[in-house]
Amino acid sequence: MLYEINNQDLKKVIDIILEKFKESEEKINDLNVFPVPDGDTGTNMLLTLKAIKEELLKLKNFSVKSVLEKASFGALMGARGNSGVIFSQILKGFFDIIIKSDSLNLDVIKEALKSSRDMAYDSVQDPTEGTMLTTMKDIYKLVENLAINTDKIKLVELLDRIISETEKSVERTTFLLPVLKKAGVVDAGAQGILDILIGARKAFIEINSINGSLERELSMAGSVSPASGSSKNNKSRSNSLDREPKAYVPQAEGKRLKEVKMGYEIKYTYCTEFMIKGSGINIERLRERIESFGDSAMVVGNENLVKIHVHTNHPQKVLKRALREGTLHEIQINNMEDQRKEAVGEAEPVGEAEPVEEKMEERRALVVVANGDGLEEIFKSIGADIIVSGGQSMNPSTYDIVKAINSAEADEVIIFPNNKNIILTANQAKKIARNKSVYIVSTKNIPAGISAILSYNPDSGMEENSYNMEEAAKKTKNGEITQAVRNANLMVGEIKKGEYIGLSDGKVRVISDDVVDATIDLVRDIVSSTEEVITFYTGKDAIPEDNETIKKKLKKYFPKMDIEMHKGGQPLYPYIFSIE
């Protein structure tokens, strides 16, 4: 039986899911056990949903295949933070199976959920139970059992059963992770999955053309119609539709993210971006040809829809080659030399750039994630080639990092995430980036990133460098001072919102109502007698008088240690420091 939804209803579906999730964003953020101001789960998942909406709004062809491919592409490129990346893989795994299937039945949905589960687990280096991974596994087990024991089931009933099982799975996460149990909360990512499902159910109920289809037996081929058709509204709904899930915690503030910032010499004049719509597009062959026209090339998509970005001196040749694959859309060509001169105040017109025939220099580029004018300058001074703006509370997207990788004029690219919540995104970008060897150094904080780069030797091979940089990062003793953004009850004690907390290696070690006392206490807690230097990176909100007070007090406690203060300019963290 044909499943139809018109383009207006498609927009309503994503709007309803987004609005429903927005209501839960701060609630989900507040489930994060650590009270640090980080890129929160609710915000990251919401931004991923928004990226899906942006891609869907570009659709002209409303076949189910096109819709799912576009949604998968949007999630992949818009994913931010661990939760966003895992969520994008859940969607990709599910949609890949649906796209390949001629009909939608219980066995297909079972296989799609199995694919979601597998891709979600595979995206994480060390999968942890009691997270959104467990919830996806529980959903798959439910549907697997239904497929064995059920001949036919209505979509509305299946969705209700999935939501019911997800609610139970979310509640179980509290008892699977000790840190969640102690805090008395559920896993934020698992709660996010539940809220997305609830939003989907709300959309299915409110839109008649979908609601009618939901009441049919689960056996149908899929297409999405741009025509404004509708189905009869079957009112015999499951009682569970009237159930609202439990609200677990009060709300907290959401976060904003910043865009990537990059600096490099202009070798090719024209930044050329566009979309190709066709059929049977050979992406690998097209990518090779596009890359030959310049640098910073990104060719991503599928056999019917491809997004292209390249820096070139011959945009007309790029477009001519692309036309062989299909129709061109959303063409943007910008003269980067004009943009550069405008930025530095030069008004001279720029002539056509001479073609550059030189082969890409065989060297390595260091890509660093950091936020703060001072930190960016420090990283550049020790060898960083490209800075991607991001860090705590501002996790860059997969696309941001892919763009940075592709902009590097080097065969090998080394990425320093400098935040544990960005490592997974960096690995996702590594899988997408083409024609370059990408290495991730698992730096979880700024001092670790600085130590890793200082141990880098451009004359050594990558195997030796990777080992040396990872070891340097692991050995770096570090501390961070910030204010708690929510109440929490951790091993170190009860924390109230607004109090200063001191962290080392991601663990809260001290609590104080005074920033100077918190800093001194943390240093004294982690320093040893063999260490000689404490290096501070002061945040944009650090007060000069506090800086001097900290130096004087530390000199009193550790008269033989050198104490250095550098302007970092990072937000939210008045002090970040390393001890050597």
Decide if 54 contacts 409 (C-beta within 8 A): no
DSSP state at residue 352: P
Secondary structure (DSSP) of 117-144? HHHHHHT-SS--SSSHHHHHHHHHHHHH
Say yes or no: 404 and 423 in one domain: yes
Q: What is the pLDDT of residue 513?
A: 95
Say yes or no: 466 and 483 in one domain: no
Q: What is the pLDDT of residue 553?
A: 94
The burial class, CB within 10 Å (0-12 / 13-18 / 19+), for 223 is middle
Say yes or no: 508 and 452 in one domain: no
How many whole angstroms separate alpha carbon 377 and alpha carbon 375?
5
Say yes or no: 371 and 338 in one domain: no
CATH of the domain at 434: 3.40.50.510
Instruction: Please report, for residues 173, 278, 397, 399, 448, the alpha-carbon distance to residue 306 in angstroms, rounded to integers and kept in the order given.
Output: 39, 9, 19, 15, 38
Say yes or no: 95 and 183 in one domain: yes
Q: What is the pLDDT of residue 60?
A: 81
Say yes or no: 141 and 233 in one domain: yes
Say yes or no: 30 and 157 in one domain: yes
pTM of the model: 0.63
Q: Among 475, 490, 509, which residue terminates a domain?
A: 475
As a whole number of angstroms, the longest Cα–Cα distance in the chain is 82
Residue 356 placed within a domain: no
How many whole angstroms separate alpha carbon 352 and alpha carbon 270?
10
State CA 498 to chain mean position distance: 27
Q: What is the pLDDT of residue 446?
A: 95
Q: How many CA atoms lie within 13 A of 364 on its CB side?
A: 21
Residue 62 placed within a domain: yes
Decide if 24 contacts 197 (C-beta within 8 A): no
Residue 264 placed within a domain: no
In tens digits, the chain (580 residues) has pLDDT values of 334 556 777 888 889 999 999 998 988 888 876 665 555 788 889 999 999 999 888 888 778 888 888 898 888 888 877 788 889 889 999 999 998 888 788 888 999 999 999 988 887 767 889 999 999 999 999 999 988 888 778 777 888 999 999 999 999 999 998 888 887 889 999 999 999 999 988 887 777 555 444 333 444 444 455 544 443 343 333 333 333 333 333 332 332 223 333 333 567 888 887 888 888 888 888 888 888 888 767 676 678 877 787 888 888 888 878 887 888 887 888 887 775 565 445 544 444 444 444 444 447 999 999 999 999 999 988 889 999 988 776 788 898 999 999 999 898 999 999 999 899 999 999 988 888 899 999 999 999 999 999 889 888 899 999 999 999 999 999 999 999 988 888 888 899 999 999 999 889 999 999 999 999 999 999 998 888 889 999 999 999 999 999 999 999 999 988 898 999 999 999 999 999 8
Say yes or no: 338 and 234 in one domain: no
Say yes or no: 187 and 234 in one domain: yes
Say yes or no: 151 and 52 in one domain: yes
Q: What is the pLDDT of residue 215?
A: 37
Number of structural domains in the chain = 4
DSSP state at residue 241: G
Q: What is the pLDDT of residue 38?
A: 55
Residue 249 placed within a domain: no
CATH of the domain at 523: 3.30.1180
Decide if 87 contacts 75 (C-beta within 8 A): yes
Q: What is the pLDDT of residue 204?
A: 78
Residue 247 placed within a domain: no
Residue 45 placed within a domain: yes
Say yes or no: 61 and 178 in one domain: yes
Q: What is the pLDDT of residue 305?
A: 78
CATH of the domain at 286: 3.30.70
Range of 511's domain?
Answer: 478-579
The burial class, CB within 10 Å (0-12 / 13-18 / 19+), for 139 is buried
Residue 359 placed within a domain: no
Q: Tell me the one-letter amino acid at 86.
A: I
Decide if 502 contacts 522 (C-beta within 8 A): yes
Say yes or no: 411 and 522 in one domain: no
